[in-house]
Structure 1
Amino acid sequence: MKFKDSFHPYAGITIIFWSLAFVLTRLLLQYFSAFPLGFLRYVVASIALMVIALTAKIAPPNKVDLKWFLLSGFFGFFLYMITFNKGIASVTAATSSVIIATAPVITALLAGLFYKEKLSAIQWTATAVEFSGVVLLSLMNSIFSLNSGLLWLLLAALSLGIYNLLQRKLTKTYSGLQTATYSIFAGTLMLAIFLPAAVSEVRAVPPVQLLYIATLGIFSSAIAYVTWAQALKKAERTSSVSNYMFITPFLTTLLGFVLTNEKPDGSTIAGSAVILLGVLIFNFGDRLAGKVFGRKNAV
């Protein structure tokens, strides 16, 4: 596969910006309540994407596909933002990233059910390795918290899995920019019910918090979801892209250290190494096994 045709760079960019979102959301929730924050994040994203859409002169969606964009907006932004922000308000950033890391498994199961996509035995093994690394990273740090926030985050993970499938469907017809833009527009319109509360809260926050919201909206939303949609468009299987989400706990911990001075320790290194090993096995394990099997046959 040529680099320009690869989904890996697009998925990698998304995961970096989504990992940043965990840290920034925790910081912002000191000043905002969960629902207005979700609305403000996607207002910024919608404005950024509107500028890009007008500049690029992208075509509007077909009427027959409007329902799919509405569903994508509902699951990917309205329901996900509400459940994610509600969950992360009562658990640590690392714990929330562990729960959201179940989304690739949910996505793989849903893709197998609806799209008949199958993972090989090696890829299922790699998925188990990755998730064990996520759990190792959190449990060894004694930062895994059990409360009602977990239920909100599990619902968020399910919502994200459904969103991934809807994006997969839409990118068969539309570009990544079109798919993400119209989905975010739909989700933002739904989140507009929190406009009055958002206006009230935004008046009382320090200026730096507005900068965090702008970062969330432009980088962790507008850019991240466009590159995610483009990755899904280029990949042969939905799960190949969603598997990248296992890297978020490692990057979240790393960014937490950089931005909030939360120092990583031995368990972070151990858990991260296991996660990265799993990612390598998932993406290259079948290819390596095929070469080894071929050589054995040759002998």
Structure 2
Amino acid sequence: MRTTPSRRPELFAAGAATVTVVLWASAFVSIRSAGEVYSPGALALGRLLSGVLALGLICLLRREGLPPRPAWRGIAISGLLWFGFYMVVLNWGEQQVDAGTAALVVNVGPILIALLGARLLGDALPPRLLAGMAVSFAGAVTVGLSMSGEGGSSLFGVVLCLLAAVAYAGGVVAQKPALAHASALQVTTFGCLVGAVLCLPFTGQLVREAAEAPASATLNMVYLGVFPTALAFTTWAYALARTTAGRMGATTYAVPALVVLMSWLALGEVPGLLTLAGGALCLAGVAVSRSRRRAAAVPAATPAATPDRGEPTAEPRQEDAGRV
């Protein structure tokens, strides 16, 4: 079946969102490895610097200029909240709680995105989106409960993960208006730069830890910067510019299911039946949230009678002239 030109932007946005969730899921595997060597702030700074270098090179090749002035407010807020604060706090929180608790608390983020998007951006909250998010959140709770108890939890760690979820939601909602004035590449590049500047106080830690870290941990940190940050945040911004913040937030519920699969394949961590069931619920909820009601079938028009007695043929109505 040939794709109609009117549907191509929608398909491109869906493809960009898919790239994002796959790369963000892979980030959890890399963070697990690099986080054993690098402290939260140093890991965030190294990741962001790698991302800035990759994005800066692409901007030079594409001759992207500075973002227009109206975009800077959203870029600055998303850079502070999402690229900077979120990455440090999430790394820190995952050292205080087990993986299941972290996944459970952070997955409050998409719900906050939908609520903030409706309140601040005027986004609609259609029943299918709400239903899909409810199903996905139930799946995230299932995955979280099935993985809890594998490292202990603390109230401080839960608070850190909750702060990360709030920062994530605020960053996404702030980024959406900026995309009306600047390209996805510009918004991502300068947001990443703002986050890197915020993390500069961790430079000393990064230098000391990089000198002693094994090559595998450093390569994982660079991977985090180039792919889950530079590439995935750009494809995210591209897709976000073409849909609502709530629908994009709901899409990220596919990440827990993909993390379970990748951990199984890459780390040999065989998931239990409860974990698999939760992952299936996450994917089902994403499918529901991104589905749309079928348009009502338009009744076929009655064919006009063939003039065989010389009757005059009716002229097309004025409002139908543009459809001929």
2:309 corresponds to: none
Of 15, 19, 29, the residue aligned with 2:25 is 19
Matched, 1:187 2:198: no
Read off the aligned partner of 2:211 and give its amino acid letter.
Answer: R
Report the Cα offset of residue 141 of structure 1.
4.2
Contact 2:100 2:147 in 1 (8 A): no
Unpaired runs of 5+ residues, structure 1, are none
Of 2, 11, 18, the residue aligned with 2:7 is 2
- Please give the secondary structure, in 1, of the residue aligned with 2:124: coil
Report the Cα offset of residue 91 of structure 1.
2.4
Matched, 1:128 2:139: no
2:55 corresponds to: 49
Work out the CA distance in 1 between the residues paired with 2:72 and 2:276: 45
Read off the aligned partner of 2:241 and give its amino acid letter.
Answer: K
Contact 1:26 1:88 in 2 (8 A): no
2:245 corresponds to: 238
2:122 corresponds to: 116
2:318 corresponds to: none
Unpaired runs of 5+ residues, structure 2, are 1-5, 299-324
Cα RMSD over matched residues? 1.8
Work out the CA distance in 2 between the residues paired with 1:3 and 1:201: 46
Matched, 1:277 2:274: no
- Please give the secondary structure, in 1, of the residue aligned with 2:237: helix
- 1:14-60 CA-to-partner distances (Å, cap 9, x unmatched) read 11111111221122111111111100000000000111010000021
Q: How does 1:67-86 map to 2 (within 5 A)?
A: 67-86=73-92
Of 153, 168, 187, the residue aligned with 2:161 is 153
Of 105, 110, 132, the residue aligned with 2:111 is 105
Work out the CA distance in 1 between the residues paired with 2:58 and 2:32: 29
Report the Cα offset of residue 64 of structure 1.
4.8
Over 3 Å counting, the alpha-carbon distance change for 1:193 and 1:142 in structure 2 is closer
1:164 corresponds to: 172
Work out the CA distance in 2 between the residues paired with 1:171 and 1:84: 25
- 1:128-182 CA-to-partner distances (Å, cap 9, x unmatched) read 1110011112213444754221111111111011111111111111111111011
**Identity across aligned pairs (percent)?**
26
Contact 1:94 1:253 in 2 (8 A): no
- Which deviates the most, 250-259 or 50-59? 250-259
Read off the aligned partner of 2:81 and give its amino acid letter.
Answer: F
Contact 1:76 1:160 in 2 (8 A): yes
Over 3 Å counting, the alpha-carbon distance change for 1:93 and 1:17 in structure 2 is farther
Contact 1:39 1:198 in 2 (8 A): yes
Over 3 Å counting, the alpha-carbon distance change for 1:269 and 1:194 in structure 2 is same
TM-score (norm 2): 0.84
Contact 2:257 2:283 in 1 (8 A): no
Work out the CA distance in 1 between the residues paired with 2:78 and 2:270: 37
2:301 corresponds to: none
**4+ residue stretches of structure 1 with deviation over 6 A?**
none
Contact 2:100 2:145 in 1 (8 A): no
Q: Across the two proteins, how many residue pairs are aligned to each other?
A: 290
Over 3 Å counting, the alpha-carbon distance change for 1:190 and 1:256 in structure 2 is same
Report which of the two has the higher share of helix.
Answer: 1
2:96 corresponds to: 90
Report the Cα offset of residue 258 of structure 1.
2.2
Matched, 1:255 2:275: no
Work out the CA distance in 2 between the residues paired with 1:239 and 1:21: 22
TM-score (norm 1): 0.91
Of 181, 195, 207, the residue aligned with 1:199 is 207
Matched, 1:139 2:145: yes
Report the Cα offset of residue 259 of structure 1.
2.3
Work out the CA distance in 2 between the residues paired with 1:215 and 1:269: 27
Read off the aligned partner of 1:266 and give its amino acid letter.
Answer: L
Over 3 Å counting, the alpha-carbon distance change for 1:170 and 1:65 in structure 2 is closer
Q: Which has the larger radius of gyration?
A: 2
- Which deviates the most, 181-190 or 265-274? 265-274
Contact 2:71 2:181 in 1 (8 A): no
Contact 1:104 1:239 in 2 (8 A): yes
